[in-house]
Amino acid sequence: AFQKTLTAIKNWFTLFGWSKGQNPVSIPYSLRRDVCKAQVASSQENGTKKSLGKHTKTIYDMLLHLSGQLLPGIALSQSLPLDPVERVLQLHCQHTTMLAFLRSQGASLSHVIPEFLFEPDDYKRWIKVQTIKKVVGDVGNSGVLSDNHLVILEDSAFETMSKQAWTDVLLQIYKVFVLSRVSPCNFADLFSLESVQNIPRIKLGPFSSNIYSSYERAILTWLNKHYETNRKTVWKDCQKGGVPPMKWILNFDQDLQDGLVLAAQLAAYCPYLITTHFIKMYTNPRTLAQFLHNCLILVNAMQAVNLVTGIKV
């Protein structure tokens, strides 16, 4: 599931996360590598500086494109010091600023600490610098322990944590700068049709759920509306179970796993897919093979209309 999420995020931000067209994203490698327009070369011995060029796109370019705001104190033409210690200190400051900015916009990132966004060598250097500072501080305080708590991870554990941290950052960027553009003002109109008036309502108030935001509940409302209005049309001639039963979609995993709900959404905008794809689905799937059958048909339908799914069949 995490890999599928990673692929979806990578595809979306590659296609839509930047101004002036596509820019390939790899999580976490390109994001943590391209943090500045100019970087220190990987070989520190020669003290040379590697220029990434003015056309290099960084996480700050992405944030400017999606939010319309520059991060406080960080310029788009930012460069890093040649000195390795100064480099990690500046990077830590920049990542701290970015996380604070995202949290101020409503992002849930309290579990992400700035050093998780480093490259592995910078992370090791940060740990070394902070360990020295802690020892010096403890000696200066006559044995009183420092409040600076370090999270020290092995290489493989750090890579896993870094990938998760960058994934969470991108998900929260999408939530606060993209999903927030969905307007909640006309959701009552979704249930104006007679065929959906008897479906229970999903409350959209900000405090009506401790799991989903009001925008996520708006998507659930949209899913319910299209499923109920389209299920009798899409599968009226289906030979593999007839018209599927009415159901209430309350989550984004279990209630979508049979493929029928998403097929109903796609049929609302691409009705020509009904006879070529969706009519072949099981409308009351009971086995894993039937669930897989439905999902493969859904993937094929998405690919038929050039929707990127990240899945090869």
Looking at the structure, do residues 128 and 193 belong to the same domain, yes or no?
A: no
Greatest mean pLDDT among 62-76, 194-208, 284-298: 284-298
Looking at the structure, do residues 159 and 64 belong to the same domain, yes or no?
A: yes
Looking at the structure, do residues 8 and 74 belong to the same domain, yes or no?
A: yes
What's the CA gap between 143 and 147, in Å, rounded? 12
* Residue 207 · residue 249 · CB < 8 Å: no
Looking at the structure, do residues 63 and 129 belong to the same domain, yes or no?
A: yes
The pLDDT value recorded for residue 133 is 76
Least confident residue range of 1-5, 40-44, 150-154, 159-163:
40-44
Q: What is the pLDDT of residues 143-195, one digit of tens each?
A: 333 345 677 889 899 999 999 999 999 999 999 999 887 665 555 555 554 45
Looking at the structure, do residues 127 and 235 belong to the same domain, yes or no?
A: no
The pLDDT value recorded for residue 47 is 45
15 belongs to a structural domain = yes
What is the separation of C-alpha 56 from the centre of its chain, rounded to a whole number of angstroms?
A: 22
49 belongs to a structural domain = no
The pLDDT value recorded for residue 97 is 94
Looking at the structure, do residues 106 and 225 belong to the same domain, yes or no?
A: no
50 belongs to a structural domain = no
Looking at the structure, do residues 92 and 200 belong to the same domain, yes or no?
A: no
Looking at the structure, do residues 293 and 192 belong to the same domain, yes or no?
A: yes
In percent, how much of the chain has pLDDT > 90? 39
The pLDDT value recorded for residue 45 is 42
The pLDDT value recorded for residue 179 is 84
Looking at the structure, do residues 114 and 225 belong to the same domain, yes or no?
A: no
> Residue range 38-53: average pLDDT?
46
In percent, how much of the chain has pLDDT > 70? 77
What's the CA gap between 177 and 128, in Å, rounded? 36
The pLDDT value recorded for residue 177 is 92
Looking at the structure, do residues 273 and 247 belong to the same domain, yes or no?
A: yes
Domain range for 161 is 1-37+56-138+148-181
Looking at the structure, do residues 152 and 300 belong to the same domain, yes or no?
A: no
> Residue range 190-205: average pLDDT?
55
Helix (H, G, I), strand (E, B) or coil at 139: helix
The total of structural domains in the chain comes to 2
pLDDT: which is higher, 181 or 8:
8
Taking 70 as the threshold, does the pLDDT of residue 37 lie above it?
A: no
Looking at the structure, do residues 1 and 72 belong to the same domain, yes or no?
A: yes
Taking 70 as the threshold, does the pLDDT of residue 53 lie above it?
A: no
51 belongs to a structural domain = no
